[in-house]
Amino acid sequence: MSYVEVPGAKVPIRMWTDPASVEDVALRQLQNVATLPWIKGLAVMPDVHYGKGATVGSVIAMQDAVCPAAVGVDIGCGMSAVKTSLTANDLPGDLSRLRSKIEEAIPVGRGMHDSAVEPGRFHGMATAGWDEFWGRFDGVAEAVKFRQGRATLQMGTLGGGNHFVEVCVDTSDSVWLMLHSGSRNIGKELAEYHIGVAQKLPHNQGLVDRDLAVFVADTPQMAAYRNDLFWAQEYAKHNRTIMMALLKDVIRKEFKKAKPTFEPEISAHHNYVAEERYDGMDLLVTRKGAIRAGSGEYGIIPGSMGTGSYIVKGLGNEKAFNSASHGAGRRMSRNAAKRRFSTKDLEEQTQGVECRKDSGVVDEIPGAYKPIEQVIEQQRDLVEVVAKLKQVVCVKG
């Protein structure tokens, strides 16, 4: 489908979904965002749903301003995927050992490594700039500097919630590795600190929603936020790179005879800010639950833990600020999912997938998410499908 335009206070709201299908609280959030004095455009992806401050699945383009709550607290959260030389025939009938080995290599939930994972231990991984990256931590907000030790040990860890590590098979029987994670606790700490700073600034006192507080250009608060934001986005990218290296190590050891090789990694943030130019204006584009889908750029759009995922290539649609959805999108809250579904439902909906099937992940059940095929169909003018994947192993926090 193409987009539907809904009137907004300052800019029209372009929606790649039926406005009637969007929950009322999310629509109110979008209308609130469209009142911001600095806004130059608002695009809504088909996986849109209610979020803290700004809706998940929204792309907000502003001039000389950025809203930290519209980035979200998991700064730099995103996806990575790698196609391997393995095929479905190389996989054992019982995948429980493989899942256990992945869980041993990559700490999940609140877990962390016993010692810092150095990139130099991985064959072929670039180490240039690693020390400089950590050196820049000295310049982040004083309020979170005491977290450096934890941030070091959480580098290369999964976290919880909707984060996952998967082994997938595509429609041609090729095996893929895929993972979803972000900037871990350090990104959350930085985000919450800066949201608190923004909410106290005088220019934000008259906003319709205090969670939409912004930093404006040429102020020390904006400079400080940009510094910490871009550092946390880099942390998230490094985190996924380290996890993928750990995952590849597991695959090499478990499939020694097959001597697996790996194609170049596809990686994409979906909670982040980018400096981009549209209609002759330099804008700060915030994608909260959306990926960049510039012409020819690869992206990843996952479904839920029992459905499929898609590797896509962007079509460069500037009406959507070169963006696409970041996944299927929730159709009910975590609490609603826990009330609605049981572990038996989870077992049925994840049949054929080696994964947790206990009460701790019922809130991630496929039934809590929108149908991924429908979400893909609604953005045919934003991306083209390159590959469709189906997970056979899913590791959750």
Residue 180 parent element (H or E): strand 174-181
355 close to 394: Cβ distance less than 8 angstroms:
yes
Asked if 35 and 211 touch (Cβ cutoff 8 Å), the reply is no
Looking at residues 347-363, what average pLDDT do you find? 96
Summarised one tens digit per residue, pLDDT across range 91-138 is 999 999 999 999 999 999 999 999 999 998 997 787 888 999 999 999
**CA 133/CA 62 separation, integer angstroms:** 28
Q: What residues form DSSP beta bridges with 283?
A: 276
Question: Can you spell out the DSSP letters for 314-366?
Answer: E---GGGTSEEESSS-BSS-HHHHHHH--HHHHHHHTTT-EE--SGGGGGG-G
The model's pTM: 0.95
Please state, rounded to an integer, the average pLDDT across all residues of the chain: 96
Q: How far is CA 317 from CA 43, 56, 171, in A?
A: 11, 20, 27
- List of E strands, 50-172: 56-62, 65-66, 78-87, 164-170
Q: What is the pLDDT of residues 223-260, one digit of tens each?
A: 999 999 999 999 999 999 999 999 999 999 999 999 99
**Mean per-residue pLDDT for 46-57?**
91
Cα–Cα separations (whole angstroms), residue 88 to 22, 199, 201, 258: 38, 52, 56, 12
What is the predicted pLDDT for the residue at 207? 93
Q: How confident is the model at residue 52 (pLDDT cuts 50, 70, 90)?
A: confident
Dmax (CA) of the chain: 65
**pLDDT for the residue 25:** 95
Is residue 286 pLDDT above 80, yes or no?
Answer: yes
Beta bridge partner(s), residue 41: 61
For the segment 322-347, the average pLDDT, to the nearest whole number, is 95
User: CA angle at residue 135 from 132 to 141, to 5 degrees?
Assistant: 135
| Of 340, 38, 41, the residue nearest 30 (C-alpha) | 41
pLDDT surpasses 60 at 393: yes
Active-site residue, from 49, 194, 270, 326: 326
* Phi-psi map region of 322: left, alpha, beta (phi>0 left; psi -120 to 50 alpha): left
Contacts of 174 (CB under 8 A, 6+ apart): 83, 84, 86, 87
pLDDT at 127: 81
pLDDT over 60 at 269, yes or no: yes
Look up 49 and say whether it is catalytic. Answer: no
Residue 245 has a pLDDT of: 97
Segment 185-201, tens digit of pLDDT: 999 999 999 999 999 99
Residue 53 pLDDT: 76
Q: Does pLDDT of 1 surpass 80?
A: no
Q: Where are the beta strands (DSSP E) in 221-270?
A: 266-269
Measured in whole angstroms, the distance separating CA 360 from the mean position of its chain's CA atoms is 21
Reference 32, options 290, 233, 213, 286; nearest CA is 213
